[in-house]
Chain A
Amino acid sequence: MKHLLIAALALAMTSSLARAQEAPIQAILQAQSALIMENSRRTIAPVIAAVSGSGLPQAQDVLQAWQGKKLWQRTTDGLFFRAEKADGATYNLYDFDTRDASGSAPVSDLEQIKPNSGIRALIGSALVQFQLQDADPKRRLAALTSVQRNPSADVLEPLRGSIAAENDPMIRAMKVRAERLLTIAYDADEAARIKAISEMSGDLGVDVRATLNPLLVTRRAVFVGAPPATLNIAEILEPGTSIEVTKAYDMLVEADLAPPRVTEAQVRSALAENAEGGRVGGIPIRQLDDPDMRLRAYAALAAAGSVPPAPGAAQIAQALKAHSIADIYLEPSRIVTDAVSEALGTIALTVGLNQTIDLVLDGLSLTSIYFLAAIGLAITFGVMGVINMAHGEFIMMGAYTGYVVQQIIPNHTASILVAIPVAFAVTFAAGVVMERLVIRWLYNRPLETLLATFGVSIALQQLAKNIFGTQARPLTSPAWLDGALVINDVVAISFIRIAIFVLAVFFLGVYLFIMRRTRLGLETRAVTQNPRMASSMGINLNKVNMLTFGLGSGIAGVAGVAIGLFAKVTSELGSDYIVQSFMTVVVGGVGNIWGTLAGAAMIGFLQKGIEWFNPSNTLAAQTFMIVFIIIFIQFRPRGIIALKGRAAGD
């Protein structure tokens, strides 16, 4: 029996020896079997290192199976397998080395290895190096994304190791970038970190800043005497200048280094509690509306021992003098924090530059909005001198036309393309009707025109409210106008703004073409310069005025469609733009389209510029902008581009 046993053992040993040559991964597992079965977060690390460091192609399979709780041990011979449930209590076993099925076993002969979440995380980190070298680029990318999302010191080496073999240039670049960032954050070698920091400084990516910023995180601590020089000190705080005295003292109190302060509220309640017979601490209660008397009463109470004494100003100052408060970098290395500060400075500069570009783009798009809103006015007010307070309502009419068209034509692209000419036609007609009925009787009476068109404006606004209700109506832009042109992490411009810019340029062209190249433009200019002369030359004044006014109104309608795409379409849409539109024309210089453009640019950029100083408050930006314009007009009453000479009229 004994012999038999020895023989069997010898057999097993020879077989395991044989296995060590033909089944290397199983050999490693066998060697670590005890630790694997112990299944403890504390002792498992060498096992994982042994498997993942084996250089065997099957290591990844083992780790994946292990992590996925599919690693089983056959109790009969202690071998490890990947097991899949076949049916009932039977499992199919797969050999790791050969990756072949190797029969099945009842569950009673098997023991599942159930790694806890800590172990699974360790396995996961170990797996990364395999995933980063996976043959499938999609998996490599997924692994890289997970590294970027959960950066840790462990993945740095695997990541480095995977770069050399990477053949996809895009993934390679991403890996290099991730490797640099991980180096900054986790590399043990200070010189390597600093090299990486200086390499990445000036990079605009949010990820760079997200890596660098945590390195400058500080904690605020109190020290008796001066803070120890071994710490990486960011700033020593001066009570009274860089930190409020009360706050500083409260920190001492919190650290049990000083007796607590007594607040005014505490004084009051202590006094109230200790009131006896109309007096507190010997002072009549009615005199306690004076803060000095309160302190005296409290001092009396403290002297009597009924309340804790309040530290006086001198005491507080002394306590603060004996201690120091400092912000300490969590990152211990001074060189690293200095390098990070410098890199962040460089990045801030680059970001600032790009923000300026972004601001310019924003200003440009606001300019085109104002220009679009004002270009109709540039014709009716600038060229004809007619103050049309209902101009804003024509813009609104255009926006509602767009809305109605969208109700009929559901396709957004088609409906916008239809809405633009329809809006032009509708507001053109409205403009012609208004010119015929109201304005032409008031041509040399601009103030009366202002008031009469204001009457039209309130009537139209209320009419819109009656028809469409008070809630905002959506004017949806086509899908291809959604999204933005992203240039980098800072600079982006939405397609809809580009479209509005294009539209503004287009209408500038239309205006120039009509005014300079067509009969109508010639006649309009003639009529505005000298109506009597124009009329005696055979120009039909009525017709020219009517068409010009209609043109200006029609353009307002088209502007309405454009504005409706990004603003809420309500009956008040127009009145939001009317003052700015008039300002645009007046600031630019009446009677000159380039002036209107300059005016729109000035107002647009000014508003964006002021908003930049105080981003939370667009109302303030508008207020300051208008005040600025009022002052500007004092110095250039005729606008940026002024007509000169006697022709300008007095």
Chain B
Amino acid sequence: MSTLLEVSDVTVSFDGFRAINNLSFHIGPAEMRAIIGPNGAGKTTFMDIVTGKTKPDKGRVIWGARRLSLLGLSEARIAREGIGRKFQKPTVFEDQSVQENLLMALKNRRGPLSVLFYRPMAAHLARVAALAEEIGLADQLQRKAGELSHGQKQWLEIGMLLAQEPKLLLVDEPAAGMTPAEREHTTNILVEAAKTRAVVVVEHDMEFVRRLGCKVTVLHEGSVLAEGSLDHVTADKEVIDVYLGR
């Protein structure tokens, strides 16, 4: 299996504190992966590095078949390369309607000039409607995103992520604050998405991770502690000691 994203020997420290310590990680083009780990294990920092928000002190981050180094690229460029990110807290554009949010995320040319002269075509609006259907916001298209409920915002953000059509989805705690039914739906969307692209989910909720039914990577103090199926890692003694408790 070819590799979509390859992170090797990455280290980053903040004022002497090593948030990521010689971390290596790779994922294939159509794979689901869950990352778990205690607070401060470096989960969010890992995502920051991949998306270009944080520059590592050393190490390599290689992307795609062309083996492009992501280090030194801007966040926007990395996003255009096909890496989508969903934040822990739902971040949507609250002053704009659901439709505007989705249209903005829709895969299209991102340059100022093409955006200036862009007017939505029927196909784009149809795609937005389909996405809205998928995330259960079909009848909310004209509402301002700021008025949606917490769960709806999470959906909208996932919808925006899908609209970007990324090759790799980085999802930070998607199920936080959701009802069991909503979680169910989220799981389905992610599993569906993972059929055509790579999905990395950071999650604390073991039940949610179990439902995803994928390979699990356990991070601890900035490096990989264990990797394998959920049953495999939960049986690991070290993992139990540092994370799960007894």
Measured CB to CB, the residues of A under 8 A from B are 644-647, 650
Query: CA of A19 to CA of B53 in the docked complex: distance in angstroms?
Result: 114
Query: CA of A184 to CA of B9 in the docked complex: distance in angstroms?
Result: 78
Residues of B close to A647: CB separation below 8 A: 14-15
Query: CA of A650 to CA of B48 in the docked complex: distance in angstroms?
Result: 12
Residues of B close to A644: CB separation below 8 A: 14-15
9 CB contacts below 8 A, A to B, read A644-B14, A644-B15, A645-B14, A645-B15, A645-B17, A646-B14, A647-B14, A647-B15, A650-B53
User: B116-133 interface mask toward A, CB cutoff 8 Å, 1 = contact, 0 = none?
Assistant: 000000000000000000
Query: CA of A536 to CA of B221 in the docked complex: distance in angstroms?
Result: 28
Query: CA of A238 to CA of B53 in the docked complex: distance in angstroms?
Result: 65
- Give the residue name and chain of the B residue nearest to A644 (CB): B15
Query: CA of A644 to CA of B19 in the docked complex: distance in angstroms?
Result: 13
Measured CB to CB, the closest approach of chain B to A595, in angstroms, equals 16
Residue in A644, A646, A647, A650 whose Cβ sees the most chain B Cβ within 10 Å: A646
Query: CA of A645 to CA of B48 in the docked complex: distance in angstroms?
Result: 13
Residues of B close to A645: CB separation below 8 A: 14-15, 17
Measured CB to CB, the closest approach of chain A to B20, in angstroms, equals 12
Measured CB to CB, the closest approach of chain A to B209, in angstroms, equals 26
- Interface residue ranges of B14-41 to A (CB < 8 Å): 14-15, 17
Query: CA of A650 to CA of B55 in the docked complex: distance in angstroms?
Result: 14
- Give the residue name and chain of the A residue nearest to B19 (CB): A646
Residues of A close to B53: CB separation below 8 A: 650
Residues of A close to B17: CB separation below 8 A: 645
Classify chain B's interface size: under 10
Query: CA of A645 to CA of B17 in the docked complex: distance in angstroms?
Result: 9
Residue in A644, A645, A647, A650 whose Cβ sees the most chain B Cβ within 10 Å: A645
Measured CB to CB, the closest approach of chain A to B89, in angstroms, equals 14
Known: A645-B15, A645-B17, A647-B14. 6 other contacts (CB 8 A): A644-B14, A644-B15, A645-B14, A646-B14, A647-B15, A650-B53
Measured CB to CB, the residues of B under 8 A from A are 14-15, 17, 53
Residues of A close to B14: CB separation below 8 A: 644-647
Query: CA of A644 to CA of B17 in the docked complex: distance in angstroms?
Result: 11
- Give the residue name and chain of the B residue nearest to A645 (CB): B14
Measured CB to CB, the closest approach of chain B to A445, in angstroms, equals 16
Query: CA of A58 to CA of B106 in the docked complex: distance in angstroms?
Result: 115
Query: CA of A644 to CA of B12 in the docked complex: distance in angstroms?
Result: 12
Query: CA of A647 to CA of B17 in the docked complex: distance in angstroms?
Result: 12
Query: CA of A638 to CA of B17 in the docked complex: distance in angstroms?
Result: 20
- Give the residue name and chain of the A residue nearest to B48 (CB): A646
Measured CB to CB, the closest approach of chain A to B160, in angstroms, equals 21
Measured CB to CB, the closest approach of chain A to B175, in angstroms, equals 25
Query: CA of A645 to CA of B53 in the docked complex: distance in angstroms?
Result: 12
- Give the residue name and chain of the B residue nearest to A650 (CB): B53
Residue in B14, B17, B53 whose Cβ sees the most chain A Cβ within 10 Å: B14
Query: CA of A644 to CA of B16 in the docked complex: distance in angstroms?
Result: 10
Measured CB to CB, the closest approach of chain A to B131, in angstroms, equals 29
Query: CA of A646 to CA of B14 in the docked complex: distance in angstroms?
Result: 7
Query: CA of A606 to CA of B17 in the docked complex: distance in angstroms?
Result: 36
Measured CB to CB, the closest approach of chain A to B55, in angstroms, equals 12
Measured CB to CB, the closest approach of chain B to A275, in angstroms, equals 64
- Give the residue name and chain of the B residue nearest to A646 (CB): B14
Query: CA of A650 to CA of B15 in the docked complex: distance in angstroms?
Result: 16
Measured CB to CB, the closest approach of chain A to B231, in angstroms, equals 34
- Give the residue name and chain of the A residue nearest to B14 (CB): A645
Measured CB to CB, the closest approach of chain A to B53, in angstroms, equals 8
What are the 5 A-B residue pairs with the smallest beta carbon separation, nearest first? Answer: A645-B14, A645-B15, A644-B15, A646-B14, A644-B14
Measured CB to CB, the closest approach of chain A to B163, in angstroms, equals 25
Residues of B close to A646: CB separation below 8 A: 14
Measured CB to CB, the closest approach of chain A to B26, in angstroms, equals 26
Query: CA of A227 to CA of B195 in the docked complex: distance in angstroms?
Result: 99
Residue in B15, B17, B53 whose Cβ sees the most chain A Cβ within 10 Å: B15
Measured CB to CB, the closest approach of chain A to B21, in angstroms, equals 15
- Give the residue name and chain of the A residue nearest to B44 (CB): A646
- Give the residue name and chain of the A residue nearest to B53 (CB): A650
Query: CA of A545 to CA of B229 in the docked complex: distance in angstroms?
Result: 52
Residues of A close to B15: CB separation below 8 A: 644-645, 647
Residues of B close to A650: CB separation below 8 A: 53
- Give the residue name and chain of the B residue nearest to A643 (CB): B15
Query: CA of A488 to CA of B148 in the docked complex: distance in angstroms?
Result: 76
Measured CB to CB, the closest approach of chain B to A645, in angstroms, equals 3
Query: CA of A351 to CA of B15 in the docked complex: distance in angstroms?
Result: 47
Measured CB to CB, the closest approach of chain A to B49, in angstroms, equals 13
Query: CA of A647 to CA of B15 in the docked complex: distance in angstroms?
Result: 10
Query: CA of A646 to CA of B54 in the docked complex: distance in angstroms?
Result: 9
Query: CA of A128 to CA of B14 in the docked complex: distance in angstroms?
Result: 80
Query: CA of A645 to CA of B55 in the docked complex: distance in angstroms?
Result: 11
Query: CA of A650 to CA of B53 in the docked complex: distance in angstroms?
Result: 10
Measured CB to CB, the closest approach of chain A to B29, in angstroms, equals 31
Measured CB to CB, the closest approach of chain A to B239, in angstroms, equals 26
Measured CB to CB, the closest approach of chain A to B45, in angstroms, equals 8
Query: CA of A501 to CA of B17 in the docked complex: distance in angstroms?
Result: 39
Measured CB to CB, the closest approach of chain B to A402, in angstroms, equals 43
- Give the residue name and chain of the A residue nearest to B15 (CB): A645
Query: CA of A12 to CA of B15 in the docked complex: distance in angstroms?
Result: 113
Query: CA of A292 to CA of B82 in the docked complex: distance in angstroms?
Result: 72
Query: CA of A646 to CA of B42 in the docked complex: distance in angstroms?
Result: 12
Measured CB to CB, the closest approach of chain B to A53, in angstroms, equals 88
Query: CA of A647 to CA of B14 in the docked complex: distance in angstroms?
Result: 9
Query: CA of A646 to CA of B40 in the docked complex: distance in angstroms?
Result: 12
Query: CA of A646 to CA of B53 in the docked complex: distance in angstroms?
Result: 11
Query: CA of A367 to CA of B186 in the docked complex: distance in angstroms?
Result: 60
Measured CB to CB, the closest approach of chain B to A647, in angstroms, equals 8
Measured CB to CB, the closest approach of chain A to B198, in angstroms, equals 26
Query: CA of A82 to CA of B17 in the docked complex: distance in angstroms?
Result: 100
Measured CB to CB, the closest approach of chain B to A591, in angstroms, equals 14
Measured CB to CB, the closest approach of chain A to B179, in angstroms, equals 27
- Give the residue name and chain of the A residue nearest to B54 (CB): A646
- Give the residue name and chain of the A residue nearest to B45 (CB): A646
- Give the residue name and chain of the A residue nearest to B17 (CB): A645
Query: CA of A644 to CA of B14 in the docked complex: distance in angstroms?
Result: 7
Query: CA of A650 to CA of B87 in the docked complex: distance in angstroms?
Result: 15
Measured CB to CB, the closest approach of chain A to B94, in angstroms, equals 16
Query: CA of A644 to CA of B54 in the docked complex: distance in angstroms?
Result: 12
Measured CB to CB, the closest approach of chain B to A573, in angstroms, equals 40
Query: CA of A645 to CA of B15 in the docked complex: distance in angstroms?
Result: 6
Query: CA of A376 to CA of B207 in the docked complex: distance in angstroms?
Result: 54
